[in-house]
Amino acid sequence: MTEIHATAIVDPKASIGANVRIGAYSVVGQHVTLADNVILHSHVVVEGHTQIGEGTEIFPFSSIGHRPQDKKFAGELTRLVIGKNNVIREHITMNPGTEGGGGLTQIGDNNLFMASVHIAHDCMVGNNTIFANNALIAGHVHVGNGAILGGICAIHQFVRIGEYAFIGGMSGVEKDVVPFGTVKGERASLDGLNLTGLKRRNVERDRIHALRHVFKELFYASEGTLAQRAEKLKAEYVQPEAAALLDFVLSDSDRAFCTPLPRDAA
């Protein structure tokens, strides 16, 4: 049974699924779709052409789907699509896409967004990520599956965060972060591999060893460019994690890569 508090304002044209709960003083716009078992706690605002997947829970004072913070936006029809079983805590802002960025902001499934996270226009967030308090991502950022963003970090527009990467707290990230990489610092640099995350996923030891070797050859060898080293390694390593890292390096991007500070290879 759907429960809508008497003080909530829900546009009659909104699409509301089964067993949805909408708390006190929440507002739901006419183009919003709430799938089954969605929970909006009190004082949540969902506007725009926004779809929220089954089982997602949104906590008080979050603003979901309002117009993007982009001066080029002229009111065109763009969308925000949020997947299943996400936890969106207090004071979250998530904006739809813009015409220039493809018109879509998309959030996957099973993500945890802690308080005061910001997801800007045209961002793509995968599944099973964790955004700690006050993590901020600017427009057009892509975040891969399983990535963890530490508290008060800020990601520059168009940056890609690879799968299962770890962003240290209070880091400013201006360049792409490779899959399974760990970065930290005021202007973040690559600080090694997210070995803790790999072990938590029960990745086999030989696959971790392969990934570590590829990582060292990419970022500590001196011969050739990064892309040339990646091409050479790609012919040798087929393990899933190593292959994902190499494919990421060889794919197109508008950004450079976070690299280690000068030091001896660990």
Q: Which of 139, 144, 151, 181 is catalytic?
A: 139
How much of the chain is in helix, strand and coil states, percent to nearest 5?
Answer: 15, 25, 55
For residue 121, indicate whether it is catalytic: yes
Q: Which of 122, 162, 191, 197 is catalytic?
A: 122
For residue 139, indicate whether it is catalytic: yes
| Cα dihedral 146/150/152/154 (nearest 10) | -50
Q: DSSP code of 192?
A: E
Q: DSSP code of 232?
A: H
Q: Which of 41, 121, 140, 142 is catalytic?
A: 121
Phi and psi of 167, rounded to 5°? Answer: -105, 120
Say if CB 34 and CB 14 are below 8 A apart: yes
DSSP H helices, the chain, are: 195-200, 205-220, 226-234, 240-250
The partner residues of 112 in beta bridges, in order of sequence, read 87, 130
As annotated, the active-site residues are 121-122, 139
